[in-house]
Amino acid sequence: MSTNWRQRALERNREANARFFADQDAEHLSEDAYEEELRRHWLEAVRHYDPAAQLHEELVVRLRGEAVDRGALDFRIGDALLKPLREGVSAAARKDVELELTGVSRGSTVLHVRPSVPEIVSDAEDEEDLAVVDSSIADPAMRDFLKLVDAAEKELDVRQWERIVPGLDGVVEALDKFDLAMDMRWFSLDGTVRSSHLSRRGKDYVRSLRNTEVQKSRMGITGRITELRESGVVKIKTGASRTSSAYEVRVDPEALMGMHLELGMTVSFVVEVARKMDRLGRARSTEYRFLRVSDGQERLFE
C-alpha cells in the first residue's frame, strides 16, 4: 500500500465535506450533524484504501462548575461520577459494560471515557471474509442514556427508560456534591455523534422523581412465625419452601407482649400495607403494620 494513501484519503474527505456543506444551511446545521458528516466522510475516504479502517468509540463528558474550572479532576469527583454512569449504561445494555477513563483535558474539565467490552470475533475462516463491525454492545446503551439525559433536561416523561433512571439519579447525586453541570457527547463507531446536556433544570427534574406519596391498602397474611423482636416486629413465612414469601409485620410493642406469640405458631393477620411510591410508580419502601387477627383466630390470643 502506498505511503501516501492517508494524504489521498484526507483529500478525498475534504472534497466530500465541501460538496456536502455547500448544500447545507449553515445556520440550521447542528454541531453534532457537522461533526457526524466529517467523521462519516473520513471513514468512507479511508476505507477506500484500507477496508478494515475504523473510527474510535468515545464518550466525552464536560463538567462545568467552580470545582472544575481550573481543568483538574478531584479524585472524589471521578469516583462519585463514573460508578453511577457505568451502572446506568450497564442497565441500558442489560449487561455489564465497563468504562475506562482514557484522559482528562481542560476546558473546564473534560473526561474522555471509552467502553471496555470484548471484541466481536467473526466465524469466518478466511481473513478476507472478516467484516468490519461498526457497532458495539455499548453503542445503543450509550445512545439510550443520552436520550434519557436529554428528556430529563426537557422535563419530559422518562418512564420508557425506567431501568436506567437509577444510574442517572446517581450521576445527579455526584454532580450535586460538587455543584456541577454536565455536557455529554457520544462518538459511535459508525460516525454518529450525539450530545446531551444536564443543567440545574435537568438535575432538579431528576431529583423530583424521588418524591414519594404513601399509598395504603389492606391484606391478609397467614403463615408461621419465624422471628419475634421486642422492638415490635413479627416475621411470618407463608410456606415451607425456601422461596416462600416472608413478611415483617410491625406491631405495637406493648400489644405484642399481650399477644403471647411463640416461634413456630401459625397465625393469620390483617395488616395495613403502606407503600411509598415515587413519581415513576416505583415502590421505594413497603411497610406492613398489624391491624387485627383474622376472624376465627381471636381466641388464640385471649
* pLDDT per residue as tens digits for the range 34-77: 899 889 988 888 888 888 888 889 999 999 999 888 777 888 88
pLDDT at 301: 58
Single-letter residue type at 273 = V
pLDDT at 163: 93
Is the confidence at residue 124, as pLDDT, over 50? no
pLDDT at 12: 59
Give mean pLDDT, residues 198-210.
Answer: 96
Is the confidence at residue 122, as pLDDT, over 50? no
Can you give the three-state secondary structure of 31-67, one letter per residue?
HHHHHHHHHHHHHHHHHCCCCCCCCCCEEEEEEECHH
The secondary structure of the chain in percent helix, strand, coil, rounded to multiples of 5, reads: 40, 30, 35
- Give the chain's radius of gyration (CA, Å): 28
CA distances from residue 54 to 18, 35, 47, 209 in whole angstroms, order as listed: 22, 16, 8, 40
pLDDT at 9: 58
pLDDT at 69: 84
Contact, 253 vs 269, CB < 8 A?
no
CA–CA separation, 167 and 105 (whole Å): 24
Contact, 115 vs 58, CB < 8 A?
no
> What percent of the chain is predicted at pLDDT more than 70?
83
Total residues found in the chain within this entry = 302
* pLDDT per residue as tens digits for the range 220-258: 999 999 999 999 999 999 998 989 999 999 999 988 888
Contact, 258 vs 269, CB < 8 A?
no
* pLDDT per residue as tens digits for the range 248-299: 999 999 888 888 899 999 999 999 999 999 999 888 999 999 999 988 676 6
CA–CA separation, 201 and 184 (whole Å): 16
Give mean pLDDT, residues 91-104.
Answer: 92
pLDDT at 174: 95
Q: Which is more confidently placed, 124 or 31?
A: 31
Structure pTM?
A: 0.74
Closest CA to 88 of 77, 79, 99: 99
Contact, 250 vs 273, CB < 8 A?
no
| Cis amide leading into 195 (omega within 30) | no
pLDDT at 22: 58
Q: Which residue has the cell 449487561?
A: 95
Single-letter residue type at 234 = V
pLDDT at 123: 44
User: Could you write out the DSSP letters of every residue in 220-269?
Assistant: EEEEEEEEEETTTEEEEE-SSSTTS-EEEEE--HHHHHHTT--TT-EEEE
Min mean pLDDT across 9-18, 83-92, 163-172, 204-213 is at 9-18
What is the average pLDDT value for the chain, to the nearest integer?
86
Label residue 25 by pLDDT band (50, 70, 90).
low
Give mean pLDDT, residues 185-191.
Answer: 94
Q: What is the H or E stretch that residue 274 is in?
A: strand 266-278
CA–CA separation, 14 and 10 (whole Å): 6
